Structure 1
Amino acid sequence: MDLKNKILQTPTGKKLLSEYQLNLLTKNNIETLLDFHDAENQKLNKLLAIKLESVLEIKKELDMLPWQSETFVETVNELDFGTGIEELDKFLDSIAQPFRRGRVWEVCGQTGVGKTQLMYTLALNFVWKHKLQVLFIDTKQDFSTKRIQDMLLERKVDQETSEKAMADIHVVEVLTSEELIEVLKAFDQQMTDDVQAALKTKVVVVDSLAACFVDHRGREMRRTRDSLLTEVACRVRKLAVRGVAFVIGNISFSQDSGTF
């Protein structure tokens, strides 16, 4: 299905965009879903002569459509990764939601409830079981190698196995949402270029999403925050279609904790 038909499946696109406006996309080399997502929001705002909020809404609605394979997309195997946590895997199997390729999880909770420990465990269990790699995106600048080493010591593994597991968890520090987007873009490009390290990376862990949006809190930053969140979602979705699973940590707030 071409881009125009996809956009017309969205409520906002169907309501606001004419055939003439949709043809402008093609004339400006915006011909696929990913071309549309990759296009600057301000460019689409001017090109289509619609509000910036409407551009963001169309992108969000496109993300809600059933996934359609495009020429660059690899077929996602139904290979179950498993979490390595027996009771959790049993529960996930019971609701037909096992941890597998292309799965995107958001792990939410208040500070101190164990989100990071769960993400460490999932990352270590994955490299341990599958001999593949994990991209661990650390937005809090507090990744603890010692915690991983302690977990390995508890498993009583030899030094060579321990060093291999540590090496397979590739940690990248990011400070801002813009840096997070750039890391995801670079990873996707490496997959396209057949970089072996990228092709062997099948899980991305983000700890945590909220930390890199700390400068965009409050109602006055809502438009910028929504735009960046949409861009992150598009990048995650594109990689998920290619078979990469995501575990994204986020913070939940009580009603009286203020506006994020």
Structure 2
Amino acid sequence: MHQHPWQNGMELLEDVLKNKNCISTGCEGIDTVLNGGLRKGQLTELAGPSSSGKTQVCLCTALHVADKEMGEVMFLDTGNSFSSKRIASMMEKEIRLERVMTRIFHQAVFDIFTMFTVLNDLCLNLRQEEERNRERKLCLLIIDSISSLITPILGGKNSNGWSMMVSIGFLLKKLAYEHNIAVLVTNHTVGGERGSSKPALGESWKCIPHVRLFLSNDRETYIRNVSVLKHTSVILGRSSTFMINDGWKI
């Protein structure tokens, strides 16, 4: 188990100011609102409507982390969103492609029970690596999308769906904290008050992610806007814009 030493308030503040344990997403606008990027030990949610660019951000982040040798990436795909061709199209130099792709591990997961199995196996494997004093290479876990698995089990008279949703959320937080990795999940949106959009999965899920980001887009200009809905150290409502499309190179 990864041991986190006791820290006083000043040490925690210094950690934030120096962007320690931050993983850059490769998207300048997102890194700006996050004060450096995704934080290890935390669960970050990226919510947005269909075609807002959530999957593209996940692919860009996976590519950036693997390319900059920050560590390995596990990509859990719940809706056939992962595309090695899209990642290859983002590479400016093909000579780097093999090196990058060998650091990104993909697995399709189409139901909540399989997700529990995969995450528990991952916890066990990481724990065994640490007990054997092996260098842990995994630094980022991506789930695109978490809501695709959870939404079908919610509603009706069966309360097990809500308990499973909370259980999967706390399992992800435990995985992030105990093994010091960053976890990024995507969530779709539903209609809110006065015709606005809000992240799906309701109030029970709302308290689970450490960080919640909302992504929106202008389909004509490819300009994305990302804003902070929840963060442990960033002012709510903080936002930034960036451009991202299928032709974006890294």
Q: Deviations 1:116-167 (Å, cap 9, x if unpaired)? A: 0011111111111134110000011232111111111xx2x243x2111112
Structure 1 residue 75, shift from structure 2 partner: 2.8
* Corresponding position: 1:226 with 2:165: no
Mapped to 2, the partners of 1:197 and 1:205 lie a distance apart of 23
* Corresponding position: 1:190 with 2:132: no
Name which one, 1 or 2, has greater alpha-carbon Rg.
1
The equivalent position to 2:66 in structure 1, one of 106, 117, 127, is 127
Aligned length: 180
The equivalent position to 1:200 in structure 2, one of 126, 134, 137, is 137
Contact 1:137 1:207 in 2 (8 A): yes
| Structure 1, gaps ≥5 residues long | 1-71
Match of residue 145 from structure 1: 84
* Corresponding position: 1:106 with 2:45: yes
Structure 2 counterparts to residues 81-96 of structure 1, below 5 A:
81-93=23-35
CA spacing shift, 1:197–1:183, aligned 2, 3 Å: farther
The equivalent position to 2:2 in structure 1, one of 61, 68, 73, is 73
Match of residue 252 from structure 1: 189
| Structure 2, gaps ≥5 residues long | 6-14, 202-250
Mapped to 1, the partners of 2:29 and 2:75 lie a distance apart of 24
Q: CA RMSD in A?
A: 2.6
Percent of paired sites with the same residue:
24
Match of residue 174 from structure 2: 238
CA spacing shift, 1:179–1:86, aligned 2, 3 Å: same
TM-score by length of 1: 0.62
What SS is found at the alignment partner of 2:23?
coil
Which of the pair is proportionally richer in strand?
Answer: 2
Structure 2 counterparts to residues 147-166 of structure 1, below 5 A:
147-152=86-91, 155=92, 157-159=93-95, 161-166=96-101
Contact 2:40 2:182 in 1 (8 A): yes
Mapped to 1, the partners of 2:68 and 2:81 lie a distance apart of 25
Mapped to 1, the partners of 2:134 and 2:117 lie a distance apart of 17
Q: Which has the higher contact order (CA 8 A, sep 6+)?
A: 2
Which of the pair is proportionally richer in helix?
Answer: 1
Contact 1:104 1:240 in 2 (8 A): yes
